[in-house]
Amino acid sequence: MVMSRYGLGLFIALLLAGCETTHDQMVNHGYPPAYADGFQDGCSSGRQAAGLMVGDFRKDVPRYLHERPYESGWDDGFRQCQAMQNSEDERQYRERFWDERDRQWQQEKDRDAARAYRRN
């Protein structure tokens, strides 16, 4: 559970670090290759579980059952990437629907204020 301690911030920093793959970046930052393999597979699976059609479910079950670093990496990658995708979906939903409601509320408020001023 090494990745869990550092949280989402480290994951995002790794993604933004350049053209290297996330796997290569993790290995270069000292994570075991088996952990990076598991994280990569778990991340793809987490995105797929959150409804993103780009990711696909990947899990090397024999490695997951017998290699603790792969298991930890897979679990961390799954949770973090699923959460990131769900968060992005929620942001897009709010942006699409709540912003429209805010605009409608502001228009209604302006109309009511205009009516109130006209009566005086």
- For residue 102, being part of any structural domain is answered with no
Asked whether residue 3 carries a pLDDT value surpassing 50, the answer given is no
- For residue 12, being part of any structural domain is answered with yes
Q: Which amino acid is at 77?
A: G
- For residue 97, being part of any structural domain is answered with no
**Which residue range(s) make up the domain with 60?**
2-91
- For residue 85, being part of any structural domain is answered with yes
Angle at 36 between CA 33 and CA 41, to 5 degrees: 130
Least confident of 3-17, 78-92, 95-109: 3-17
- For residue 59, being part of any structural domain is answered with yes
More confident residue, 38 or 110: 38
Per-residue 3-state assignment (H helix, E strand, C coil) for 57-82: CCCCHHHHHHCHHHHHHHHHHHHHHH
Least confident of 25-34, 36-45, 51-60, 79-88: 51-60
What's the whole-number mean pLDDT along residues 89-112? 76
- For residue 15, being part of any structural domain is answered with yes
Structure token digits, residue 86:
């769900």
Total of domains in the chain: 1
pLDDT of residue 11: 62
- For residue 19, being part of any structural domain is answered with yes
Q: pTM of the entire structure?
A: 0.60
Least confident of 10-19, 29-38, 44-53, 63-72: 10-19
- For residue 107, being part of any structural domain is answered with no
